[in-house]
Structure 1
Amino acid sequence: MKIKRELLYKNTIETERYCQTVWRRFCRHRLALAGLGALAVICLASLLAPLIAPYDPEEIVGPFGAAPSLKFLLGTDQIGRDMLSRLLYATRVSLMVGALSTLISTAIGVVLGLMGGYFGGWLDIAIMRFTDMVMSFPYILLVLVAAAIFEPGLWSIILILGLVDWPGIARLVRGNVLSLRETNFVKSSIVAGMPSRYILFSEILPNTVAPILVYATSVMALSMLDEASLSFLGMGVQPPAASLGNMLGSAQSLTILTRQPWLWIPPGLLIVVLVVAINFVGDALRDALDPSSVMNVNSLSGEEQNECE
């Protein structure tokens, strides 16, 4: 019992040191820190939308196309709905689509990649050929066809994007599993007679989490762009529900573009900020979780190691 407690304490200390090392390396990316702060503010504002939104996003509360004022900070749209309230709820929709579709595609890709890479043989061949078949279709065409087949809506978009974004993650996980399968700690577990489920999810998967997290950030940014594109084309979230894409889609006329910029600049700018911030965070995670970079953290100066503490 005493030996088990000592091993548990040692593993806890090593985990804390590893997390501190990763955080130090992450903090060296100033743009990533700025992006993380922007994401935190935007996520908090969207979560608190029912509390901080001044009006109901679907209710007509003012004159048509009113310019920004003290009463309507971002003005009103063509039918008199408050733009700030709609922007808050639209951001919630974009974040929900990005997070849930990424979760679905990551789960599918991880399971298929683990099974194909570990068991190999006919199962690996079948999974990889199916993956190649899905990737052979033009991505945007596949999304548009799927969106045209199913009824437009929030949950339809989440499922469509989640079911078409998994091949890249599956190939990434499979490649890592093929490498980890030849390591000594996996071979020793096999020789010891450990079940495959334990080896996959307790030995191999924890050592594959880092590249999965990095890749998932790019998938999330791409999913948010796809949702905005589909909603812009009228195949995504349907009015009167607010979405960054359909807010831009309702501001296509030349008159609005030239005379009512408050109808398209805020949602367009918010899309750019979200995607750029997520990509900055993903780049920093890639560097921070790189094993060679983490091993060299001891070479940092004391000032660099303490800059985020």
Structure 2
Amino acid sequence: MTQPVLSEELATAGTEAAVRARSSLALAVARLRRDKVAVVSLVVVVLIVLTAVFAPVVAAITGHDPNFQYRDDGLSPDGLPVGPNGEFWLGTDRLGRDVLVRLAYGARVSLVVGLLASACAVAIGVLVGTVSGYLRGRTDLVLNWVIDLILSIPFLLFAISLVSLVGPSLKISVLVIACFTWGPIARVVRGQVLSIREREFIEAARSLGGTRRRIIVRDVLPNLVAPIIVYATLLIPSAIVFEATLSFLGLSVTPPTATWGNMLAEASQNALYTVAWWIVVFPSLALLATTLAFNLLGDGLRDALDPGASRRPGRLARTVRRGRKRAERARAAAAARDGEAH
């Protein structure tokens, strides 16, 4: 009579062992794969990255250079841009240039600035936040003053002042964006470090004679990987929007280099978008799709890396609970039969 109970218990134990055997990374990947919105966002991000990487291939397929002015075929007899057609799939701009090819090359600038600026901002924010949260005292006070100072400086005013001195360039865009986006992540990391440094394993590392540097590198930073990844993913779209803003104002790369921001700026000249809607709609859609995809992907990563943020229990957790319930019912039925036999 105890055989069914033993089999149920063994099955439950095997399921629990399978759950424990999977690493936290594997569980995060499994949760991310079940999030359909995050998967679709990841696909969109990959497509945008591939478009930027293979922009020369797009130009070769269409047979159009991003900066060449096709005045014979790309402009109407009145000198206006032509709409989407068989030769120019997304139409042309005010100079007769192919909008599709310029969008592909503009994606390169946006992604390069977004990734580089986000990487620099994350590196600075993690360094400042970790040092501030772990050392505390006067160091924490001074670094908090620095963070407050950075957050209080007007972004566009500083950018305009800097560009007026050294001129617009891609490096200046990355520098300005990185300087004004590391403050929030430093505060997030500081709060996490203040919580981690009071835990038992940090106290044990101190009691074993671990140096501050060793404890920070070996014990503190590995516990910050998840929030850093999530925040970096959410920071990229902000950097892309900042770059588009600088380009729109003429503070980023100089024309004729294509960026989504200067494409929108050109569309606004003389209200050209009122007669050629495609020159403002397609760059706007590209900017919207990119920022929205990165934001949704960041939300999905947050839910996947933080099990407590999951909206519903995973499949493995539900399997374990069902196995426990079956084992409890089997034990109760066995106990009832034993009682009747006695």
Scaled to the shorter chain, the TM-score interval is 0.7 to 0.9
Q: Is the 8 A contact 1:67 1:74 kept in 2?
A: yes
Q: Deviation of residue 229 (structure 1)? A: 1.1
Q: Deviation of residue 132 (structure 1)? A: 1.3
Q: Is the 8 A contact 2:159 2:251 kept in 1?
A: no
Q: Secondary structure at the match of 2:83?
A: coil
| TM-score normalised per structure 1 | 0.87
Q: Deviation of residue 194 (structure 1)? A: 2.2
- 1:16-41 superposed Cα distances (whole Å, 9 cap, x missing partner): 52122112222333222111111111
More displaced stretch, 243-252 vs 66-75: 66-75
Pairwise CA RMSD? 2.2
- Residue 27 in structure 1 maps to residue 33 in structure 2: yes
- 1:54-108 superposed Cα distances (whole Å, 9 cap, x missing partner): 3221122343322222221112221122111111000111111110000000000
- Residue 243 in structure 1 maps to residue 241 in structure 2: no
1:56 counterpart letter in structure 2: D
Q: Deviation of residue 138 (structure 1)? A: 4.1
Change (3 A) 1:293 1:262: closer
CA distance in 1 between partners of 2:21 and 2:113 (Å):
32
- 1:182-213 superposed Cα distances (whole Å, 9 cap, x missing partner): 11111211222223222112211110111112
- 1:195-252 superposed Cα distances (whole Å, 9 cap, x missing partner): 3222112211110111112122222111111111111111122210000000000001
CA distance in 1 between partners of 2:120 and 2:132 (Å):
18
Structure 2 residue aligned with 1:115: 131
The one of 213, 233, 237 equivalent to 1:221 is 237
The one of 292, 295, 299 equivalent to 2:317 is 299
The one of 193, 205, 222 equivalent to 1:206 is 222
Q: Is the 8 A contact 1:147 1:157 kept in 2?
A: no
Q: Is the 8 A contact 2:129 2:186 kept in 1?
A: yes
Q: Is the 8 A contact 2:31 2:304 kept in 1?
A: yes
The one of 153, 160, 163 equivalent to 1:137 is 153
Q: Deviation of residue 145 (structure 1)? A: 4.3
Structure 1 residue aligned with 2:66: 57
CA distance in 2 between partners of 1:101 and 1:300 (Å):
42
Q: Is the 8 A contact 1:147 1:160 kept in 2?
A: no
Q: Deviation of residue 256 (structure 1)? A: 2.2
Q: Deviation of residue 177 (structure 1)? A: 0.8
Ranges of 4+ aligned residues in structure 1 off by more than 6 Å: none
Change (3 A) 1:233 1:301: farther
Q: Deviation of residue 253 (structure 1)? A: 4.1
- Give identity over the alignment, percent: 36
Q: Secondary structure at the match of 1:245?
A: helix
Structure 2 residue aligned with 1:288: 304
CA distance in 2 between partners of 1:291 and 1:204 (Å):
20
Stretches of structure 2 lacking an aligned partner (at least 5 in a row): 1-18, 76-80, 321-342
Structure 1 residue aligned with 2:180: 164
The one of 5, 14, 36 equivalent to 2:42 is 36
The one of 99, 103, 107 equivalent to 1:91 is 107
Structure 2 residue aligned with 1:5: none
CA distance in 1 between partners of 2:180 and 2:28 (Å):
31
1:299 counterpart letter in structure 2: A
| TM-score normalised per structure 2 | 0.79
Q: Is the 8 A contact 1:104 1:162 kept in 2?
A: yes
CA distance in 2 between partners of 1:15 and 1:96 (Å):
39
Structure 2 residue aligned with 1:154: 170
1:63 counterpart letter in structure 2: G
- Residue 175 in structure 1 maps to residue 191 in structure 2: yes
The one of 274, 277, 290 equivalent to 1:258 is 274
The one of 120, 135, 141 equivalent to 1:125 is 141
User: How many corresponding residue pairs?
Assistant: 290
2:253 counterpart letter in structure 1: V
2:200 counterpart letter in structure 1: N
- Residue 270 in structure 1 maps to residue 286 in structure 2: yes
Q: Is the 8 A contact 1:135 1:167 kept in 2?
A: yes
Greater Rg over alpha carbons, structure: 2
CA distance in 2 between partners of 1:212 and 1:255 (Å):
42
Stretches of structure 1 lacking an aligned partner (at least 5 in a row): 1-12, 303-309
Change (3 A) 1:22 1:245: same
Change (3 A) 1:273 1:15: farther
